[in-house]
Chains A and B, each alone.
Chain A
Amino acid sequence: MRIGVLALQGGFIEHIQMLRSLQVNSFEIRKKEDLRTAMDGLILPGGESTVIGKLLKDLKLFDPLKEQIQNGLPTFGTCAGMILLARKITGTDTTYFGAIDIEVKRNAYGRQLGSFFTEAPFKGIGSIPMTFIRAPYIERAAPEVEILSEVDNRLVAARQGNILVTSYHPELTTDNRIHRYFIEQVK
């Protein structure tokens, strides 16, 4: 198994380290040529969604990745990655992959002083540590979307088909159960 990790900007190394802790091979995607390597799953990391979204298009990665995602490639987005995968982003007409039927609100908890850490349940796994950094949350989700975590009545993790998203950063903790959950979907 080989997982591609989008490495344009943000916390991609942390995802690669998580995968390594699960003995899963991964490679960085920085330019079109990197897509010559076949992948079984894709991770879109945290970072700034405006930066990653722009670089995806400028570096001509957007269309080929969108095609693979639409064709069922298991894809996991954290924070900015969730924004890139959402069907709608609150307050703007800009969208990126539009692969999961959710509307997300960017910087939903405010600026850095609103960033927080908590522990809350993830469906089927139990309580896990969650790090929210200038995080988005899910404002609305279609009925077909399975909600996996809620914190203070906000939807913060979800799944639909091949797409898994979290508002928080499991890759910033030492708990690799969410990555293991994703790898199970890839298998």
Chain B
Amino acid sequence: MQTEITKQQYELNKNLAQMLKGGVIMDVSTPEQARIAEDAGAAAVMALERIPADIRAAGGVSRMSDPQMIRGIQKAVSIPVMAKVRIGHFVEAQILEAIEIDYIDESEVLSPADDKFHIDKSQFKVPFVCGAKNLGEALRRIAEGASMIRTKGEPGTGDVIQAVRHMRAMTSEIRRIQNLKEDELYYAAKELQVPYELLRSVHENGKLPVVNFAAGGVATPADAALMMQLGAEGVFVGSGIFKSGNPAKRAQAIVKAVTNFSDPAVLAEISADLGEAMVGINESEIQLLMAERGI
């Protein structure tokens, strides 16, 4: 019976991610920012004390946010509230579950707490989203109980190149798996270090068994639409909004870009007169590659 309930909870958690599709999830650090995000059309907010660009600038160990700060944001908005825990830090996850967070992001943006083991997410009722650079990472996270996947991208840079690389890697590997012969799947599962059943589901359905969002480095409506056209089902925007000149306007534009991602006329209209985008750091200038954390 226990397993039946667990299975049902996992379905419900995947279902919530399905309802977030076609939406934008925005990083916010205060209740005011959360309200700006909600008014702009965010499908959910990610509550964190410092947005990735500031984490990157500040250096040092970065941890789960103060539950009181997260509660403040839960009170401020009616949309789902997510928050981040360090990779492998299952006690931070227990704490977020206790304050009834809607989704936990086991995130490479924070300093990893465990260099080997991710959280056994199947032990939790609350859903998890995890980052992945490729199909192998995505399926390993799903095997551990993640009910939603996002690209890692390179957070806090305003440079979309890594998110593009991760999404392209994922979709091209999915196409390769789809075209394998049945008897080749066993070897592919061994190669990718993933459970055979999950790989088989990718082979049959041509997609991950959970919703897949883009994240990391999205700074403009065009970036968001690019990720959608590359196959993302929705977009996380971190530093790109509140590090820009006019957060409310840019946030609204990114929301519309995700809805009408394949319509250049709409994209041209909403990309106009947005004020300054976040400054950004090029990939080659980065000291710390967060995407290399937790593979």
Query: Contact residues of A with B, CB < 8 Å?
Result: 7-14, 30-31, 46-48, 50-51, 54-55, 58-59, 79-80, 106-107, 110-113, 115-117, 131, 133-134, 169, 172
Instruction: Output the nearest chain B residue to A45 by Cβ-Cβ distance.
Output: B19
Instruction: Output the nearest chain A residue to B82 by Cβ-Cβ distance.
Output: A112
List 19 additional A-B contacts (Cβ < 8 Å) besides A8-B22, A55-B256: A9-B43, A11-B18, A13-B21, A48-B44, A48-B79, A51-B43, A58-B256, A59-B256, A59-B259, A106-B78, A112-B16, A112-B80, A113-B97, A115-B16, A116-B12, A117-B8, A133-B12, A134-B16, A169-B15
Knowing A51-B43, A107-B78, the reply to whether A46 touches B255 (Cβ < 8 A) is: no
Whether the Cβ atoms of B22 and A7 lie closer than 8 Å is yes
Whether the Cβ atoms of B19 and A55 lie closer than 8 Å is no
Whether the Cβ atoms of B19 and A79 lie closer than 8 Å is yes
B contact residues, total (Cβ < 8 Å): 39
Asked whether any CB of chain A lies closer than 8 Å to the CB of B13, the reply is yes
A residues near B42, Cβ cutoff 8 Å: 51
Give chain A nearest CB distance to B148 CB in angstroms.
Answer: 12
Query: What are 7 A-B contacts with C-beta separation under 8 Å?
Result: A10-B23, A48-B43, A112-B80, A112-B101, A113-B97, A131-B12, A134-B19
B residues near A50, Cβ cutoff 8 Å: 38, 41, 78-79
Whether the Cβ atoms of A113 and B259 lie closer than 8 Å is no
Whether the Cβ atoms of B23 and A112 lie closer than 8 Å is no
Asked whether any CB of chain A lies closer than 8 Å to the CB of B183, the reply is no
Q: Name the interface residues of B25-62: CB closer than 8 Å to any CB of A.
A: 38-39, 41-44
Whether the Cβ atoms of B21 and A10 lie closer than 8 Å is yes
Asked whether any CB of chain A lies closer than 8 Å to the CB of B127, the reply is yes
Q: Name the interface residues of B237-295: CB closer than 8 Å to any CB of A.
A: 252, 255-256, 258-260, 263, 266
Whether the Cβ atoms of B103 and A112 lie closer than 8 Å is yes
Whether the Cβ atoms of A133 and B78 lie closer than 8 Å is no
State A9–B22 Cα separation when bound (angstroms).
5
Whether the Cβ atoms of A54 and B41 lie closer than 8 Å is yes
B residues near A106, Cβ cutoff 8 Å: 78
Give chain A nearest CB distance to B126 CB in angstroms.
Answer: 6
Partner of A47, one of B12, B43, B255, B256: B43
Knowing A10-B23, A48-B23, A134-B80, the reply to whether A55 touches B126 (Cβ < 8 A) is: no
Asked whether any CB of chain A lies closer than 8 Å to the CB of B197, the reply is no
Instruction: Output the nearest chain A residue to B266 by Cβ-Cβ distance.
Output: A31
Whether the Cβ atoms of B18 and A111 lie closer than 8 Å is no
Instruction: Output the nearest chain A residue to B77 by Cβ-Cβ distance.
Output: A50
Asked whether any CB of chain A lies closer than 8 Å to the CB of B89, the reply is no
Give chain B nearest CB distance to A76 CB in angstroms.
Answer: 16
Whether the Cβ atoms of B259 and A133 lie closer than 8 Å is no
State A111–B12 Cα separation when bound (angstroms).
12
Whether the Cβ atoms of B12 and A115 lie closer than 8 Å is yes
Give chain B nearest CB distance to A38 CB in angstroms.
Answer: 21
Give chain A nearest CB distance to B259 CB in angstroms.
Answer: 5
Asked whether any CB of chain A lies closer than 8 Å to the CB of B144, the reply is no
Instruction: Output the nearest chain B residue to A114 by Cβ-Cβ distance.
Output: B100
State A111–B74 Cα separation when bound (angstroms).
10
Specify which of B12, B19, B39, B80 lies most central, judged by the most chain A CB atoms within 10 Å of its CB.
B19
Asked whether any CB of chain A lies closer than 8 Å to the CB of B168, the reply is no
A residues near B260, Cβ cutoff 8 Å: 30-31, 59
Partner of B127, one of A7, A11, A30, A112: A112
Knowing A31-B266, A107-B78, the reply to whether A133 touches B41 (Cβ < 8 A) is: no
Asked whether any CB of chain A lies closer than 8 Å to the CB of B108, the reply is no
State A29–B39 Cα separation when bound (angstroms).
22
Asked whether any CB of chain A lies closer than 8 Å to the CB of B106, the reply is no
Specify which of B79, B125, B252 lies most central, judged by the most chain A CB atoms within 10 Å of its CB.
B79
Asked whether any CB of chain A lies closer than 8 Å to the CB of B11, the reply is yes
Whether the Cβ atoms of A113 and B15 lie closer than 8 Å is no
B74-115 interface code vs A (CB 8 A; 1 in, 0 out): 100011110000000000000001001111000000000000
Knowing A7-B22, A12-B22, A48-B23, the reply to whether A131 touches B15 (Cβ < 8 A) is: yes
State A79–B12 Cα separation when bound (angstroms).
14
Whether the Cβ atoms of A48 and B19 lie closer than 8 Å is yes
